[in-house]
Amino acid sequence: MIGLYRPGTSVLHRMPTGLKLVCFIGASLAIATTTTSLWQVISALTFVMTGYACAGLSARVLASQVVAARWIILFMLAPQLLFLPAIDAVTNTARVALIVILAALFTLTTRIPDLLDATERACAPFRRFGIRPEAVALVLALTITSIPVIAGFAATIRDAQRARGIPPHRLSFAVPLLIMSLKHADDLADAVSARGIEP
């Protein structure tokens, strides 16, 4: 769901990160508030596709972002189809999916260190309320990095339980996942401070 940075020289790659962030938030809000009819969905879709094209990203990259968002799409679409007219269910789902895919375009064209710098600058005015911008930026970066790790833990636990014939159960899954994640957080904190970054 979070696209890995793809190097490039497009307008989107070269745009100052702070400005880009503001534009993307603006575009997402616009999509969220205005896309209610089918033709609006189509124009929003065209807009997002143009964005990917501007970034020099292929249709394949766009498609892989849609695939990455498939669970969101499915979980939103299925229940709505039961209670709403099909057309409304589709527009509602498309709206959210488009925003997710637009957000991925941001991460695909932004290097994390640049995002960190932009976040630090944006949070600077809050310093007087005791908020440390470096810490906010670091938390953001570590969260993004840790998603695949935690997903890996989940897969490991499922495999281990299947291998031992333990029937799937929410608690027998959540407890080891929590423990592994806490251990990971602990190790990561050590690694971050060992690298001389004050958390």
- Residue numbers at the binding site for other proteins (CB under 8 A): 2, 4-7, 111-113, 116, 134, 141-142, 144-145, 148-149, 152, 184, 187-188, 190-198
For the bound state, the minimum distance from the C-beta of residue 105 to other proteins, rounded and expressed in Å, comes to 16
Closest CA to 44 of 109, 97, 2: 97
Task: Give the residue with the Cβ less far from other proteins, 10 or 92.
Answer: 10
* Distance in angstroms (rounded) separating the CA atoms of residues 143 and 191: 15
Task: Give the residue with the Cβ less far from other proteins, 7 or 165.
Answer: 7
* Distance in angstroms (rounded) separating the CA atoms of residues 194 and 199: 11
For the bound state, the minimum distance from the C-beta of residue 17 to other proteins, rounded and expressed in Å, comes to 12
* Distance in angstroms (rounded) separating the CA atoms of residues 132 and 125: 10
Q: What's the burial of 186, exposed, middle or buried (CB within 10 Å: 0-12/13-18/19+)?
A: exposed
First to last CA, the chain: 26
For the bound state, the minimum distance from the C-beta of residue 89 to other proteins, rounded and expressed in Å, comes to 34
For the bound state, the minimum distance from the C-beta of residue 107 to other proteins, rounded and expressed in Å, comes to 9
Task: Give the residue with the Cβ less far from other proteins, 159 or 187.
Answer: 187
* Distance in angstroms (rounded) separating the CA atoms of residues 199 and 189: 8
For the bound state, the minimum distance from the C-beta of residue 176 to other proteins, rounded and expressed in Å, comes to 16
Task: Give the residue with the Cβ less far from other proteins, 8 or 45.
Answer: 8
Task: Give the residue with the Cβ less far from other proteins, 41 or 55.
Answer: 55
Determine how many CB atoms are found less than 10 A away from the CB of residue 65.
24
